[in-house]
Chains A and B, each alone.
Chain A
Amino acid sequence: MMFQIKHEDDNSKKYVLIAVFLGVITLIEVALFYSTNFNLPVILIPLSFIKFLVVVGFFMNLQFEKKLLKLFFLLGFVLSIPFILILFLERSVI
């Protein structure tokens, strides 16, 4: 099977805007860290998850990839669940 190497348009501006967005979220995270009025895990975990999704979706281009590759990536998260559960059980025994 032959694959064409993509010759896309220059997306530099789009990527710079995405990076600015990621930078702003990081600044918000640090600002929240110094604020005592918030429940940090409740706010920081979703913000971190947004950054994660943006990098995976736009920089790694997973949103435009085939379903098979998306499943592969998801597989890593599914496979890590039993390991984390084992750790949790080990800790409760200790």
Chain B
Amino acid sequence: MSSVDTIQEHEATGVSNQKMAMWLFLSSEVVFFAVLISTYLFYKGKFSQGNLSPEELFDIPFTSVSSFILLMSSLTMVLSHNFYEIKNYEKSRIWIFATAFLGILFISGQIYEYTEFIQSGLTISSSIFGTAFYFVTGFHGLHVVIGVILLLTTGSQIGPNKNNRKYGLSIESLALYWHCVDIVWIVIFTVVYLIP
């Protein structure tokens, strides 16, 4: 590396290898969630007799707030990336931790929601609907948890008096991952929760 402001890559595409790998990974995530959401749609009506229907179970105001929190975490993530690019590492770190906080808040909401559903009789084995629902939302939640861990790890590595330049592509990749998690939730919120 000849300068602190450059990152050396070896490829012929004009795109850094890490960035290209990240977009390919996101592409595979699109396939994964598209299939999971489709499965949910196919089995949405197959809940057990005596159990509450999805419309009766879902607490839309609560989930709307959760969705808003995740949407705003995309804003904090893009702000972190923005401040990183203009070399304001302190603000970049603050916004990364804010993103992690919002991610934790979202997961807490999901845990609360699951607790309510289980108390109402909807478990992963109570019906095909339950299995499909917990698979879609659970795998999304798992992605959020992984994202939060990555955010906290990256956030602790940047800041004043640290060698910040080497984390440029990492923060960009992390931002792409987090936004992907957000767009998956945009689809889940509409398809799973809002559409009857």
Contacts and interface: CB of A to CB of B under 8 A. Distances in A.
B71 A19 contact: yes
A52 B72 contact: no
Interface in A37-84: 40-41, 44-45, 47-48, 51-52, 55-56, 59-60, 66, 68-69, 72-73, 75-77, 79-80, 83-84
Interface in B58-84: 60-61, 64, 67-68, 71-72, 74-75, 77-79, 82-83
B117 to A, nearest CB: 19
A73 B5 CA distance: 28
Nearest to A40: B195
A56 B151 CA distance: 20
Contacts, number: 158
B23 A91 contact: no
Interface string B32-45: 00110011001000
B26 to A, nearest CB: 7
Contacts of B194: 29-30, 33, 40, 44
Interface string B1-37: 0100111111111111001100110111111001100
B27 A72 contact: yes
Given A7-B86, A44-B190, A84 B34 contact: yes
Given A68-B15, A76-B30, A2 B85 contact: no
A93 B131 CA distance: 20
Given A2-B6, A77-B30, A59 B71 contact: no
B187 interface: yes
Given A26-B71, A84-B34, 6 more contacts: A7-B87, A29-B190, A55-B74, A73-B30, A80-B34, A91-B42
21 contacts: A1-B11, A1-B14, A3-B6, A4-B6, A11-B82, A18-B75, A26-B67, A30-B64, A34-B60, A41-B195, A52-B187, A60-B175, A60-B179, A66-B15, A68-B20, A72-B20, A75-B27, A80-B30, A80-B35, A83-B35, A87-B35
Interface of B: 2, 5-16, 19-20, 23-24, 26-31, 34-35, 38-39, 42, 60-61, 64, 67-68, 71-72, 74-75, 77-79, 82-83, 85-87, 165, 168, 175-176, 179-180, 182-183, 186-187, 189-191, 194-196
